[in-house]
A and B are shown apart, each in its own frame.
Chain A
Amino acid sequence: MQLECQSCGARVELAPDQRTGRCVYCGSPQVLDRPPSPDRPNPTFALGFTVPPERALEVARRWVRRPLFAPQAFRKAKVDDIRGVYVPTYLYSAVARSGYSASIGENYTVTETYTTTDSKGRTVTRTRTKTKTEWRSLSGHHAVYVSDHVVTASRGLPNEELEAIEPFDLRALRRYGPKLVSGWVAEEPSYAPAECIQLARREAMAGIGRELHGFMPGDKHRNLQYSTEFDGEDLELTLLPVWVLPVRYDEEKPVVRLLVNGQTGKIFGKAPTSWLKVTFAVLLAIAVFAGAFIAFRELT
């Protein structure tokens, strides 16, 4: 998208998936202000970065050295490149009304008589108490508000990777304003709300399931089944702060991307595996076991 820089009048090129950029002539930070559409709403909220880049780099450098089975080049790779990105996500809330059924186990004890032999070899009759479970069926209704479910709206950041650096402290939410993202990379949502609502509902359903497991009476339960209807649903575009650190350790290998939660410093990355190290470790383990086995046989 080509727009005019309000500072020097030059043409500013903004990538279609970006909400922010810089004028290449005067360096002024630009924030795109555009009319919202149903597929691409404007952000409602944003969380500001609280983890400074130095700390994110430190966390990433420590993490890179940790995986034992990663290639040595990866463990010694320089981590200098860092980019703060406001990742678009949808914040979901709704009223969840569920119907459930389950088998509830209620324990009781019975006294049993049994015969056994005592220390002198005589047959004796003794009693013992045994805990048994009576299973009863239970069905009912459950209604609560669900909130604070965050799902990705970015094609560049899969939901599993976002989940890996969650949680974000949503009490620190701020209403979105261009000032908050000025000078930073802020992505536009690549998914429309309608595309993400199923994912959000699935997350909310999983949360309801966990809640219902804790809700059941009895000493134990099984066969918990539930169906949930959501109403009053709301999905708000929310920008979350994420530090992105690409790690290059081999020209021929793909870049490893590390993500650091810009609010808590929680890190996620997929370290590469050195198959040479793995093979060596397996051979070493086999040698140790074989050695131990031979030594044991010699001794016995």
Chain B
Amino acid sequence: MSGWEREASGTARMGASAWDDDRTKPGCGRCGSPLEPEDLRCAVCFLPVPAGQGGAARAVARILRCDGCGAALTYDVKVQAPKCAFCGSVARLEETEDPIEEADAYLPFRVDPATARQAVKSWLGSLGWFRPADLATEATVAELTPLWFVAWTFDVEALVSWAADSNAGAGRAAWAPHSGQVPMTVQAALVSASRGLEEEEVAKLAPHFDLSSAQEAPHEMEGAAIERFAVPRSAARRIIERAVMAQARSHAKQFIPGSRVRKLSAAVLPRRLRTRRYGFPSYVLAYRYREKLYRAIVHGQDARVAFGKAPWSVWKILLAVLGGVAGVAAIAGLIWLFASR
């Protein structure tokens, strides 16, 4: 039985996408992944994309003419294209294009700035006893920027082959080798392309976005910053490949017996890899507490998700340490007292 026929198990990272226009794109004949119009070969399995043009019916000698002056064209090494020796015009060749990535869709803000400010206050008030008691009341939001940060999402079905050492079945050595092959389905996994947010910050925001709300263009939002993808398509594909491999490795770990693992190798055979480029809404805030600025992030669609950096109360920590020491000393004293009787 091949891996594809086995029952698929998967890890869903986000809500399923309602953005389905990829299904209208032509698919690769071998792996089923959608093809971009400019692709010469499938980016996943490298199967050539048919040109869709018929050949000559009989053998003929052709002269390639310049569109400008009608003289014969020859390929020129310096311009790396066919060039007319008479008028100097250069003919275009069909090649893999590598445009800079752009967002296909934007998720709308569902949290307004006032709610975002309140969300920061609520978050600061929920941080626990070791923070300053007046943190939530004294902190003032100094700056609030609505930001559409950019990220890719991908769906993929893959067959993951793995091999690793684990402590299960170990004999004289601490490790024993294991291997396996498991199917993997990933839906809407998010890969950050943001320069404004750190990866850990994006990871905290990711599970709370509603992809079904995606719109073609960002809506009006005062003072909003819209990030751009700063990488060409080829680099984006390499980033996605690495993300698929990272997913495969963490997926494989679930199937390795034992409690400790080392030297995990994984090989991936992806199918139907669909990638989307989104702008995700969030608020980046700077709040001031006792003349010092701290950074916080509020989710643009779910105000319950707020996090960032916050000060600690040194006195409370010191008090807790002293209390702990005093408690230990008291217990030790009692033990000594009972023992000496």
Contacts and interface: CB of A to CB of B under 8 A. Distances in A.
- To the question of whether A and B form a pair in one complex, the answer is yes
Contact-residue size bin, chain A (C-beta under 8 Å from the other chain): 35 or more
Contact of B163 (A97, A138, A183): A138
B59 interface: yes
Nearest to A51: B77
A4 B268 CA distance: 53
Interface stretch (B49-57, B186-194, B205-213, B286-294): B49-57
A121 interface: no
Contacts of B77: 48-53, 84
B46 to A, nearest CB: 4
Contact of B48 (A45, A49, A134, A142): A45
A93 B46 contact: yes
A175 interface: yes
Given A1-B59, A49-B75, A147 B176 contact: no
A211 interface: yes
Interface string A162-179: 000000000111110111
Interface of B: 2-3, 30-31, 40-41, 44-48, 51, 55-64, 72-75, 77-78, 80-82, 91, 93-96, 159, 161, 163-165, 170-181, 234, 262-265, 267-269
Given A35-B59, A184-B74, A143 B161 contact: yes
Given A138-B179, A143-B161, A211-B267, A232 B30 contact: yes
Interface stretch (A100-108, A195-203, A249-257, A269-277): A100-108
6 contacts: A51-B77, A138-B178, A140-B161, A141-B179, A147-B45, A217-B265
Contact of A215 (B93, B173, B265): B265
Contact of B40 (A1, A173, A184): A173
A138 B165 CA distance: 11
A28 B72 contact: yes
B72 A179 contact: no
A134 B95 CA distance: 53
Interface stretch (A5-13, A71-79, A112-120): A5-13
Contacts of B173: 106-108, 133-134
Contacts of B174: 106, 108
3 closest A-B pairs by CB: A183-B74, A140-B179, A147-B46
A91 to B, nearest CB: 8
Interface in A119-157: 132-134, 136, 138-145, 147-148
B168 to A, nearest CB: 12
B95 A33 contact: no
B82 to A, nearest CB: 4
A33 B56 contact: yes
Interface centre among B55, B75, B234 (most CB of A within 10 A): B75
A48 B93 contact: yes
A14 interface: yes
Contacts of B96: 171-173
B64 A173 contact: no
A260 to B, nearest CB: 12
A12 B72 CA distance: 16
A109 to B, nearest CB: 9
A141 B91 contact: no
A178 B73 CA distance: 10
B163 A174 contact: no
Given A6-B61, A234-B47, A177 B94 contact: yes
A84 to B, nearest CB: 8
B172 A134 contact: yes
B241 to A, nearest CB: 11
A261 interface: no
Interface string A6-50: 110000101000000100000011111111100000101100111
A36 B45 CA distance: 25
Nearest to B261: A217
A7 B71 CA distance: 10
